Amino acid sequence: DVGFFVLNKSVLKYAPDYNFNFEKEILPKLVAKKELAGYLTDHRYYSIGSPDRLSLTAEFLSGKKVILLDRDGVINKKASKADYVKTWGEFEFLPGSVEAIKLLTDGGYEIYIITNQPGIARGMMTREALDEINGKMKEELAKNGAEIRGIYQCLHGWDEGCDCRKPKPGLLYETAFEHNFDVTKAIFIGDDERDLQAGEAAGCRTILLAPGQTLLDVAKSLVRA
């Protein structure tokens, strides 16, 4: 429960000369004199409870341009059904995806990857192999002027009941919290119905790649907009 008071300084005459609770001490007196009014609003509330939060709030409201990307099927070729990209040798960039990420980077977007990787929970790959894939993917992208700011991944199985596996929006919220941006202003690009559901649950604009559509097609349209 949060709110603001807009007060006339004359209200201070009701204040006692000791530490007190404003709502309990002052508001009843104003109500009794019919000097209090209020209204409800559905406008979002941004807290600046201390001076050190001022810069964080300014950053949050700065209008960052943020792209959230699914990985498999958007950046790289998907493995066959019931299989996963388990090693760097199995990783294959989709046509145009490197160029697309460079285009978005040059367009001033912060880019983060949001991906389910249940192959670890199923014992089909190791965390070390996944880290190697992600590291080498970022290296290859960086060589081409394409920057990934962070990779957020769910390593759980589908039946573990976690909050991070898409279609739940947990990873999107985590990314927004750690990098201080408004998730409702971000754009999430995926290729699966779970991506669409996660993006809609988080309240962000979500683009689902149509059959035959590439990340480069979407990137070009976003940069032109």
Q: What residues are labeled active site? A: 70, 72
Tokens of 194: 């779970």
DSSP-H helix ranges across the chain: 22-25, 27-32, 52-60, 97-106, 127-143, 170-179, 193-202, 215-224
Question: Phi and psi at residue 113, in whole multiples of 5°?
Answer: -100, 135
Tokens of 160: 């573990």
The answer to whether the CB of 74 falls within 8 A of the CB of 111 is: no
Detail the DSSP E strand segments found in 16-88.
66-69
Rounded CA separation 130/119 (Å): 9
3-state secondary structure of 69: strand
Angle, vertex CA 184, rays to CA 167 and CA 141, nearest 5: 75
In this structure, which amino acid lies at residue 98? V
Rounded CA separation 154/166 (Å): 8
187-190: strand order across its sheet: 150-154, 110-116, 66-69, 187-190, 205-208
